[in-house]
Amino acid sequence: MEKEQILSTLNEKLTAQGIKTEPFQRTFGDYVNENLPAEGTEPDDAYFDKHVRVLKSLAGQYNHDLATAVEDFKKNYKPSPKPDDKKDDVAKSDLEKRLEQLENQLREASGKESRDKLISEVVAKGKSLKVANEAIWEDAVKAIEIGEKDSADDVTEKAKKRYEAQLRRYVGEGVSPFGSTGRQGATKEAEQAAKDKREALKKKMQARGRLPKDEQ
C-alpha cells in the first residue's frame, strides 16, 4: 500500500472519531514517512489502530495548547484607544511564534517514537548477526547518532563500527565480533588454543591418509 493511501486511510479513521485533520497534513505526512510498514508487508488493522491512537493524541494536545494560547492572548491583550500598528504586529508575531513552537513539539514527539522503534529493530538484529556480546551491542546501538533520514540498514552499519570498537576495548583483540559460535567474551588465548587443536587434528588425518598433505 502506497504512502498516500495509508495517509488517506488514517485521515478517514481520525475524521470518523471527530478529529479535524486538515491543519496537520504536513506533519501527518512526515509521521507516516517515518512509520511505514516493513518493505513487502501490508498495513493491517493493528497498524492503523496504533497510529490512529498516536495521531489522535498528538492532534488533541495540539488543539488544547492552541486553545490555551488563544485564551491567554485574549486575556492579556489590551487594545489601545488609538490605532497602534506596532503593538498589533508584536502581538501577532508572539502568537505565530507560539503556534510554531507547538508544531515543533508535535514533530519532536513523532520523531522520538520513530527513533525508539528504529533502535529496537536494530538491537534485535544482534541475533541474526550473531554478535559476540549482546549487551555491548545494545549499548552501541543506543549510543550512536541517528539522522532524520537514516534507515535501519544505515543505523546497523553505524552500530557495527561502534560495537567493534567497544568490544575490543572491553574484551580485547581476540574476539570475533560477529558470527561467533564460541562462548561470549572468548579471550585471544582461547581462540589460539582452538586453532591449534584444529591444526593438530588436520595433521593426524593427513598422517592416516584421510586428508591430502599440504603442498610444499
Digit-coded pLDDT (tens) for 149-189:
888 888 899 989 988 888 887 766 666 778 754 444 444 55
Q: Are 24 and 104 in contact (CB under 8 A)?
A: no
Model confidence band, residue 124 (pLDDT cutoffs 50, 70, 90): very high
Going by C-alpha positions, the residue among 169, 166, 168, 174 that lies closest to residue 193 is 174
- Asked if residue 190 belongs to a domain, the reply is no
Domain count, the chain: 1
- Asked if residue 72 belongs to a domain, the reply is yes
DSSP 214: P
Q: Are 114 and 33 in contact (CB under 8 A)?
A: no
Q: DSSP states of 55-100 as a string?
A: HHHHHHHHHHHHHHHHHHHHHH----SS--HHHHHHHHHHHHHHHH
Q: Are 48 and 10 in contact (CB under 8 A)?
A: yes
Going by C-alpha positions, the residue among 166, 168, 145, 167 that lies closest to residue 155 is 145
Q: Are 10 and 37 in contact (CB under 8 A)?
A: no
Q: Are 32 and 7 in contact (CB under 8 A)?
A: yes
- Asked if residue 77 belongs to a domain, the reply is yes
Q: In 82-114, which positions are buried (b, 16+ CB within 10 angstroms) versus exposed (e)?
A: eeeeeeeeeeeeebeebbeebbeebeebbeebb
Q: How far apart are CA 210 and CA 199, in angstroms?
A: 14
Model confidence band, residue 216 (pLDDT cutoffs 50, 70, 90): low
Q: Are 141 and 123 in contact (CB under 8 A)?
A: yes
Least confident stretch, 17-21, 48-52, 139-143: 17-21
- Asked if residue 57 belongs to a domain, the reply is yes
- Asked if residue 69 belongs to a domain, the reply is yes
- Asked if residue 106 belongs to a domain, the reply is yes
Q: Is the pLDDT of residue 128 over 60?
A: yes
The runs of H, that is alpha helices, within 130-171 are 134-143, 152-171
Containing structural domain, residue 17: 1-129
Tens digit of pLDDT for each residue in 52-73?
A: 888 888 888 877 777 787 777 7
**Grid cell at residue 61:** 494536545
Mean pLDDT of the chain: 76
Q: What is the CA radius of gyration of the chain?
A: 29
User: What is the arithmetic mean of pLDDT over 7-25?
Assistant: 83
Q: How far apart are CA 28 and CA 17, in angstroms?
A: 16
- Asked if residue 28 belongs to a domain, the reply is yes
**Grid cell at residue 165:** 570498537
* CA distance to 19, 62, 105, per residue, from 100 (Å): 20, 11, 9
Can you tell me whether residue 124 is helix, strand or coil?
A: helix
Give the predicted TM-score (pTM) of the model: 0.38
CB within 8 A of 57, min separation 6: which ones? Answer: none
- Asked if residue 20 belongs to a domain, the reply is yes
